[in-house]
Structure 1
Amino acid sequence: MTYDVHIIGGGLAGSEAAWQLARRGVKVRLSEMRGSGATTPAHQTDGLAELVCSNSFRSDDDEKNAVGLLHHEMRRLDSIIMRAGEIARVPAGTAMAVDRDVFSAEVQKELEAHPNIEIVRETVDQLPTEGLTIVATGPLTAQSLAQSIVSTTGEDRLAFFDAIAPIVHYDSIDMDICWMASRWDKGDTKDYINCPMTEEQYLAFHQGLLDAEKGEFKEWEADTPYFDGCMPIEVMAERGLDTLRFGPMKPVGLDNPHTATEEFPQGRWAHAVVQLRQDNKLGTLWNMVGFQTKMKYGAQVELLRTIPGLQNAEFARLGGMHRNTFINSPMLLDRQLRLKGAEHIRFAGQITGCEGYVESSAVGLLAGMMTATELAGERWEGPPRTSAMGALLAHITGDAEASSYQPMNINFGLFPPLHDVKKKQRKEAYTERGKEDFGVWLAGLEAVPA
């Protein structure tokens, strides 16, 4: 079969992109290396859209949950992932969980039956030099293709190992305890939020790091070495009592105005300081500097909330370290997910730095719609920033800071903030606004003839 678009990768994003293109009359070649003799360390089958970790798509609550709102939007766009998810659904309270075998089989059945899709079991070693292409190879991209991506984009544009620090919602930080300042007051702006610790608090925190339950590397990750810039905070703690105080928790040059006295009008230095750096252009998310960790999630939340000023912290993302492959999307991709300088190539799914099954599928869905629009010679108008899809797309393609870009789940910190709504009603307000604006956008799309 001759084809209009080549999709590399038959995971959730690639399957969704193929479906969205095919249902719009576009002929697709879907290349998947599993089934051709190649495999990955994480996959167990050669089924399309195989779920390799959890079987949960997380919350299905579209009234006050960001991922639930993303579910809602994908359903409205006839997502094959959401359609198969309903068929394979198993009881999980307000969450959406699926029988992973039924789910994968349902996606594969639908794609195999579609006359506009040809599924080819083959390994693609190089980025195509021509022809519309969507790369959706996920976090376990084959070594040969990864090297081709590096050759095309540059050595510093592809990560093979995540060293992720927690990210905190700004409105959950207690600024009566913390303060804004740069070290030694350098620069014209106060770029960091500083959380002070007494000696007693620091010693308790240090011991908590040593005692906390840690996650283990998978067997195929174990030979991936740490490097000094990404040392887990608990490993630093093991190297000595004051290692952190000379590293990411260094207090020197940070006058705490909350301790100002007549003798010290600028305030004194704390025994240790935890710094947070702005993580998105909206200023709604703040990254804990140097706090990459292998602590388990429950242990992280419990310990991090002992930090003064973060006692009520809400986390958009918790820390972690694991083998991964993703590109620096804010630097490399334009607003239509196209590779700058090679606009015939789009990236989709987890390789763009979105995290999670649903987010990966949503980006694949958008890539499919964008490519279909391009083929039709029409102008692409993306979903509104106030929608879940629009917020996720904006984060991937420009809102996130390229210098510290890391994988992220959908969360309300990516949405344009609502300042005139009480905090208790804010989640409902985000989803209500998102649904309304998304509905207007969708009605405009449907008014354009296919």
Structure 2
Amino acid sequence: MSDLVVVGGGLAGVEAAWQAANRGIKVDLYEMRPEKMTPAHKTSNLAELVCSNSLRASSLENAAGLLKEEMKKLGSLIMKIAERHQVPAGGAMAVDRERFAKDITETIENHENINLKREEFKNLDAEKPTIIATGPLTSQKLVNEILNFTDSKLLYFYDAAAPIVTYESINHNKVFRASRYDKGTADYLNCPMTKEEYKRFYQELINGDVVQMKDFEKQIHFEGCMPVEVMAKRGAETLTFGPLKPVGLKDPRTGEVPYAVAQLRQDDKEGNLYNLVGFQTQLKWPEQKRIFRLIPGLENAEFVRYGVMHRNTYVNSPSILKATYQLKDYPNIFLAGQITGVEGYIESASSGIVAGINASRLLIEEETLTFPEETAHGALSNYITTASPRNFQPMNINFGLLPPPEDKNKKKVPKKEKKAKQSEKALSSLENFINENSLRLA
């Protein structure tokens, strides 16, 4: 009989099972393929990469590179196998996806503490330590089970997310802080547009290149989550009555109401990240960067997340999840992977590492751990559990989630140097955390 149930054989589930099994925990790992396939998967292999074969940048001046380095220090199976099947990709890490998935499958199948069960998991037991890591295409039966343990309002089926930029990359000489009609506190950054600026932006927006959705991702566009470019095509002035409505927003520098206003709303508690309100979109990522930089104040905006609209089952983690990846009301149940609101291959895998470690500690009656916020692992778990529940959006790892490096001299530090310092601090903090809690694999 198993000590721990892990549901889902993707990157998060594989890492969670691996971490627990290497700590002597008996694991039942459920993967419904090939008994029941998803619309995206093509094989029955574990950790199948269904989109790109890239695990993104490797440099420590890139947050993805930092996250992967932390994963290595924590004994990541994904990183171990990825290095074995790496293919040329410049400064990024990419893998031969077939060999990568096949190797992981065989490694898991041959682990003495893992029992791979090729069947759909249907019944969630609050008393049984369980990690749900079923990804964005969670089966309807399991969705219904999750709904038994969470409020139905806290489970989303489509990821309609607006782009997010860093605060420091905004040109604050062109934006002003205010709330509409000066109601409450001045919580929004407002980007005023002249008629000429708006017309240019509008033309580029309606002619931008969009991502074609797959059949299983297609949806009816509800008024509340319509792609901004679709809304724009209703008429040249439609946006000025919608997300770019200027009413109640007087530019303090001119004393006048602008022709149009794009609003930015704080996205994290530290105020390092801001999202473009109402700008959920299906534009391709290079197009988003090009077109949204036409908005005054965003000429040099650094995008830490681009807008997306696709099929993605995920929970409202700030409302229901602890930074240990446990449900607040059901501590035996952990979530990991994209269902938590982390976005991307390595982010999913890293959350599986944390969930696997903490589920193991729960089983041996040790305290579950919250990773330090200055590490990439801790920054991700901190974001998904402390972001605004009203506006929660899935997130990739980025340096905007980590505390900025201390600058005692208050000098402007070059971006690369700043990121290198953040990585150095993160790895040092993780090393101390590993040593203090004896986290290295046996």
Give the count of matched residue pairs: 437
- Counting aligned pairs with the same residue, the percent is 49
Q: SS in structure 1 opposite 2:153?
A: helix
Question: Corresponding residue for 1:275?
Answer: 263
Q: Alpha carbons of 1:318 and 1:448: their partners in 2 closer, same or farther (altered >3 Å)?
A: closer
1: CA distance, partners of 2:336 / 2:256: 49
Cα shift readout 1:252-309 (whole Å, capped 9, x = no counterpart): 11111121xxxxxxx1110000000000001000010000011111111101111100
Runs of 4 or more consecutive aligned structure 1 residues displaced over 3 Å after TM superposition:
447-450
Q: TM-score, normalised by structure 1?
A: 0.95
Question: Corresponding residue for 2:58?
Answer: 60
Deviation (angstroms), 1:418: 2.8
Cα shift readout 1:307-338 (whole Å, capped 9, x = no counterpart): 10000100010111111100111111122211
1:207 to 2:203 alignment: yes
1:406 to 2:381 alignment: no
Q: What are the equivalent positions in structure 2 for 1:25-174 lying under 5 Å apart?
A: 25-36=24-35, 38-62=36-60, 64-174=61-171
Cα shift readout 1:100-153 (whole Å, capped 9, x = no counterpart): 111111111111111100000111123224210000000000011112212321
| Kept after mapping to 1: 8 A contact 2:11/2:78 | yes
| Kept after mapping to 2: 8 A contact 1:177/1:258 | no
Q: What are the equivalent positions in structure 2 for 1:184-195 lying under 5 Å apart?
A: 184-187=181-184, 189-195=185-191
Cα shift readout 1:223-244 (whole Å, capped 9, x = no counterpart): x211111011111111111110
2: CA distance, partners of 1:152 / 1:21: 24
Q: SS in structure 2 opposite 1:282?
A: coil
2: CA distance, partners of 1:206 / 1:449: 54
Please, which of 205, 222, 229 is the counterpart of residue 227 of structure 1? Answer: 222
Q: SS in structure 2 opposite 1:58?
A: strand
Question: Corresponding residue for 2:413?
Answer: 422
| Kept after mapping to 2: 8 A contact 1:164/1:292 | yes
1:361 to 2:349 alignment: yes
Larger deviation, residues 351-360 vs 328-337: 328-337
Question: Which amino acid is the alignment partner of residue 403 of structure 1?
Answer: R
Deviation (angstroms), 1:423: 3.7
2: CA distance, partners of 1:419 / 1:245: 41
Point out where structure 2 has 5 or more consecutive residues left out of the alignment.
none
Question: Corresponding residue for 1:256?
Answer: 251
| Kept after mapping to 2: 8 A contact 1:13/1:349 | yes
Question: Which amino acid is the alignment partner of residue 276 of structure 2?
Answer: M
Question: Corresponding residue for 2:372?
Answer: 384
Question: Which amino acid is the alignment partner of residue 374 of structure 1?
Answer: L
2: CA distance, partners of 1:405 / 1:128: 27
Question: Corresponding residue for 1:262?
Answer: none
Q: SS in structure 1 opposite 2:145?
A: helix
Point out where structure 1 has 5 or more consecutive residues left out of the alignment.
260-266
1:339 to 2:327 alignment: yes
Q: SS in structure 1 opposite 2:100?
A: helix
| Kept after mapping to 2: 8 A contact 1:20/1:365 | yes
Question: Which amino acid is the alignment partner of residue 433 of structure 1?
Answer: K
Q: SS in structure 2 opposite 1:215?
A: coil
1:24 to 2:23 alignment: yes
| Kept after mapping to 2: 8 A contact 1:282/1:417 | no
Question: Corresponding residue for 2:241?
Answer: 246
2: CA distance, partners of 1:416 / 1:39: 41
Q: SS in structure 2 opposite 1:162?
A: strand
| Kept after mapping to 1: 8 A contact 2:29/2:116 | yes
2: CA distance, partners of 1:206 / 1:278: 25
Q: Alpha carbons of 1:395 and 1:447: their partners in 2 closer, same or farther (altered >3 Å)?
A: closer
2: CA distance, partners of 1:103 / 1:318: 28
1:312 to 2:312 alignment: no
Cα shift readout 1:140-172 (whole Å, capped 9, x = no counterpart): 000111122123212211111111100010000
Question: Corresponding residue for 2:274?
Answer: 286
2: CA distance, partners of 1:177 / 1:293: 24
